[in-house]
Structure 1
């Protein structure tokens, strides 16, 4: 499994295209477990649990489109944290950044149902720049579920079973020293469950309400450090700051595809997988996006570990087992017992996308602690954040391309 979820401190949408968007902006992301003292094994299993949970609930959402389908926000939904501010006068916020969703929202007073958060809950009555949006707003009409009172009242749920309900409004969003006015966001009054160290979510997905769409940003990039490196931040970059530095290697580029049944996510066309020099015998249609919306491969910051379609995963697992030749800790996942033996010297894994090859060194797919070697890949079809570590990844939204290059993310 792989997955990435980012946490950001202020969840907002730009409601007015006439507002002045931040053209060049850099923000540091902090992993949610960075302030903990978990062992390598504990970090891996926490990431594995988050990935399984998010993937399971995404599947439930895709098979249950009823507006009566409800879910709650849970404590292990996020991966990375970002600090921002909201309102006039401003207050600090902390939020989950998610490339698989579109809404920007934060918890609001009065709270009908709110989870514990590390900063004061935003109170719109104390801000001079808060303004509810009417139901006639294009952003309101773009939501899947809303009603009119006469303000736009929204309901939004996520693939990892999170949800929020409240009023869609506009506010001032602050990134460090840079302010953006009239940003549309969800003022959430009913948010069930808990969310680790966050106040809500910032969507970076492909929909009209996401942060990148509302700010009119044509490209953004990130370079993720390993969640095993607890004190190192990961850069999230917008505008010209998002450009890749090619000095560390040749840039690879592949088309971003879209699934009309799951329009928020960024899909990639995965053709095959190699381990070392061996191209694995995976059937060409294994990772194809089908006409009914099934299949396909997503690149997702909200999923910690990479997942592969079962038919492809079984072949990858068989090849890895033949190379490692160590006893498994259990049969349910690729976790090997090292005992007193040396860590196996694993070859690179290469993901062959349409027109591009993403090379994953051993450290990007094997996690080693004192007595175990764990493979961070399992069943599904999602390119998670652990496999994306130390790769600078650029989303060219205007050109519909995803580009990437190896990088030392801690030095960007």
Structure 2
């Protein structure tokens, strides 16, 4: 009979991965089928390095954990919010519509260059957004960013988007200046941050060698809020038509996130056929039962999110007594579970988390620590002597696959405070499968098959 617990070594304590791809959710439900592909696309796809927003800072591991949790908390609140935006730009028009939520903060950055001549920027990567944007001159209201603000007048490849273009029509709400034939956009985030400017096309260069022209992006001249200050803008990887994935008309991408303990190695993002090629190559060397593929769901009210169909959870040898409907996506678009690269830990609907917390507590042989020193909901006091600690197994039962996580993907040890914590929390609505639980998996999104595949991978060695 298989063991119902995993060994967790205190000689090699594990810490939270702080992955986050800056999140903003596309509100658009239209397609860009009338728009040609951008030029100079790499045939086999391409690879991008991802850098954590706290890398290079003089922070202890527990400080990094707490910063990630704080960012995740605000992100969680924004994801659960429902934004109400004006239908028209006319201030006298009081008609309102329900709009998808835009997150507004992030954890991982990618390096890219914009324009001709190319100017380098670090942008937040966001699997929950369909808009690519950066701050632009002349900037009437902009936040501080680590690089100079982009000046479109100095780029020979910059071109404004016309009112009748497919890109402009793909915006959730646009305001066209017909005299200048320019398409204006406004994206408002759940924390009241926002970006406003002109939609345009430009040449984007990735990893100094993949130069792609004709990419649609927002040139923001009025940008408010502090959620973007980690970078100089955002690159959306969501389902919506304005995301990088959609504009390239790619159906596959994957990311492989290293542990926070691996301070030297970069995480990776793969786009196009290269994504599936890496997954197939890695998976071929593993037992077929180790590679897990599960179904994706769509939510018309939140069209950019990648929803998973969670059907249950097992702790140790016990499947939790939680109604399947607890994790279901409701007809009104609320609830459900998304897989999110931008939230640090996993959050479960509060009634389900309460049951999971009780089961974990009953199966651990350590006393509970109530000091609240880490910001996590459930921690245990460690013994003074270093030794292996048995922790209950944790299995997520998704439609299509049962995903058993390694101990380091849900337990966090901190020797300085002498605690061992569960890297999960509660949510009052939507559940989120966070990036700690995804570390050292190559996570492939196949938008043609509507699946997500998890392949155990040493991400720092890719």
TM-score of the two chains, using structure 2 as the length reference: 0.82
Shift of 1:320: 1.3
3-state SS of 2:150 partner: coil
Alpha-carbon separation, structure 1, partners of 2:183 and 2:254: 32
In structure 2, what is the Cα distance between the partners aligned to 1:248 and 1:64? 47
SS of 2:186 mapped into structure 1: strand
Q: Which residue of the partner structure matches residue 393 of structure 2? A: 348
**Which residue, out of 306, 327, 345, partners 2:368?**
327
Question: Does residue 166 of structure 1 match 2:213?
Answer: no
Give the Cα–Cα distance (whole angstroms) in 2 for the partners of residues 213 and 228 of structure 1. 33
Q: How does 1:6-405 map to 2 (within 5 A)?
A: 6=21, 16-17=36-37, 19-23=39-43, 24-60=45-81, 62=82, 64-66=84-86, 77-150=105-178, 151-159=182-190, 162-176=193-207, 177-194=209-226, 195-243=228-276, 244=279, 245-246=282-283, 247-250=285-288, 251-324=291-364, 325-330=366-371, 333-338=377-382, 340=384, 342=386, 344-370=389-415, 371-380=418-427, 381-405=431-455
Match of 1:408?
458
SS at match of 1:322: helix
Structure 1, unaligned stretches of length 5 or more?
9-13
Q: Helix, strand or coil: the match of 1:336?
A: strand
Give the deviation of 1:4 after TM superposition.
4.3
| Partner SS state of residue 191, structure 1 | strand
Residue number in structure 2 paired with 1:11: none
Between Structure 1 and Structure 2, whose CA radius of gyration is higher? 2
Q: Is the 8 A contact 2:175 2:184 kept in 1?
A: yes
Offset at 1:3? 7.8
* Mean CA deviation greater in 185-194 or 97-106: 185-194
How many residues get paired? 403
Hey, what's the Cα distance between the residues in 1 that align with 2:264 and 2:144? Answer: 24
Distance 2:381 2:65 in 1: 15
CA contact (8 A) 1:6 1:29 kept: no
**CA–CA distance in 2 between the matches of 1:145 and 1:38?**
41
Aligned-residue offset at 1:200: 0.5
Structure 2, unpaired ranges of 5+: 1-15, 24-31
Could you tell me whether the CA contact under 8 Å between 2:111 and 2:121 is conserved in 1? yes
Tell me the distance in 2 between the aligned counterparts of 1:211 and 1:354.
Answer: 28
Moved more, 236-245 or 187-196: 187-196
SS of the equivalent of 1:185 reads strand
Tell me how far 1:22 sits from its aligned partner. 3.0
Change (3 A) 1:3 1:291: farther
Partner SS, residue 256 of structure 1 = strand
Paired residues of 1:3 and 1:384 also in contact (CA < 8 A): no
Residues 144 and 138 of structure 1: CA distance in aligned 2, closer, same or farther (over 3 Å): same
- Separation in 2 of the partners of 1:234 and 1:367? 20
- State the SS of the aligned residue for 1:344: strand
